[in-house]
Amino acid sequence: MQKSLAPLVQEILGSYTEIGGINNIDGLNLPSKRAIAQICEDLLQLLFPGFHDEEPIATKHVPQITSARIFGVAERLYVETFKSLRVQEPKCPSRRAEEILVNLLQEFPGVRKLLKTDVQAAYEGDPASTSYEEIIVSYPSIEAIAIQRLAHILYREKLPLIPRIMTEWAHSRTGIDIHPGAEIGSYFFIDHGTGVVIGETCKIGSHVKLYHGVTLGARSFQKDNKGKIRKGGKRHPNVEDWVTIYPNATILGGETVIGARSTIGGNVFLMQSIPPDTLVTNEKAQIKITSKKKPLPDFAPTEATA
């Protein structure tokens, strides 16, 4: 085995020298994806105490458990935050990582208030839901939104890498892809959720409901004189209050605004703004219903059957 593998080792090592751009050898100490994944799990425990634990938590133990969790998360997230800051600014002072971390924890009560509205929206918007408990422990949208709301705080702090690692962790678990830059109001609900994509510069109002397969994306990108796509700018749509968007609808463009109280039907492809109180449906598709059973052939009696 060793003899057959030795040449392959050399080939792979050679590729490290020949193929650049995807190596980080003698490079920066990047944030750990595994560490961030565990931190996300612990953040969910802090956001929803008792819902992500194997054993119930008694009231008298809450202060001790919460304190231990906060200090544990803070210590580990501080390390990853500092590494992330050094990627962008090698001489970044360590106190900047502490400032970001303290600000995140200060916003925890506000995030929990928003998440309470999201759980309420799910309960009121899904006739299949039976309790808040069911929603918190089993609905993928709550987990994806919870992580995105925290990642958005770090995104606003211009922290590199970590916010996107967090939301992609949630994406891999839930099938819901929400960029940490998206601004999302209260009472937000994604029903089912699989295949939902929400871009970086989206602004979503309150009481918005999305179904599975919805894309709030960008149109084709402008390119510079070197043929490279231009980065930044407003690329994704705005969705105002009380809008419902049904499955597999695609809404594109930074100038596109979906007016308040509008409804976007399933399979709609939209690249233009619509005013408030509008219903948009896709009437191009035609449905044809036919029997799968072959019709019986005409029967002519013979002498034997006459």
63-111 per-position pLDDT tens digit: 998 999 999 999 999 999 999 998 888 888 889 999 999 999 999 999 9
Residues 125 and 220 in one domain: no
Nearest-CA neighbor of 262 among 290, 240, 292, 235?
240
11-23 per-position pLDDT tens digit: 887 888 788 787 7
- Window from 125-129, 195-199, 298-302 with minimum mean pLDDT: 298-302
* 119 occurs within a structural domain: yes
* 277 occurs within a structural domain: yes
Residues 154 and 272 in one domain: no
Residues 49 and 164 in one domain: yes
Q: What's the domain range around 271?
A: 195-225+232-284
Residues 140 and 43 in one domain: yes
Task: Please give the backbone phi and psi of residue 305, each rounded to the nearest 5 degrees, phi first.
Answer: -105, -10
Q: Which CATH number does the domain housing residue 209 bear?
A: 2.160.10.10
* 274 occurs within a structural domain: yes
pLDDT at 272: 96
Residues 33 and 170 in one domain: yes
Residues 155 and 219 in one domain: no
* 161 occurs within a structural domain: yes
Residues 32 and 167 in one domain: yes
Per-residue CA distances from 174 to 103, 108, 161 (Å) = 27, 22, 20
**What number is the average pLDDT over the span 21-31?**
77
Residues 53 and 130 in one domain: yes
* 132 occurs within a structural domain: yes
In one-letter notation, the amino acid at residue 85 is L
Residues 139 and 83 in one domain: yes
Q: How many domains does the chain have?
A: 2
245-270 per-position pLDDT tens digit: 999 999 999 999 999 999 999 999 99
* Mean pLDDT score of the chain: 90
Residues 169 and 39 in one domain: yes
134-187 per-position pLDDT tens digit: 999 999 999 999 999 999 999 999 999 999 999 999 999 999 999 999 999 999
185-207 per-position pLDDT tens digit: 999 999 999 999 999 999 999 99
Q: Which CATH number does the domain housing residue 50 bear?
A: 1.10.3130.10
216, 181 contact by CB (below 8 A): no
* 95 occurs within a structural domain: yes
Residues 169 and 200 in one domain: no
CB neighbour class for 155 (10 Å; exposed up to 12, middle 13-18, buried from 19): buried
* 214 occurs within a structural domain: yes
Q: Which residues contact 48 (CB under 8 A, 6 or more apart)?
A: 115, 136, 146
pLDDT at 306: 44
Task: Please give the backbone phi and psi of residue 225, each rounded to the nearest 5 degrees, phi first.
Answer: -70, -5
Residues 112 and 218 in one domain: no
DSSP 61: G
* 135 occurs within a structural domain: yes
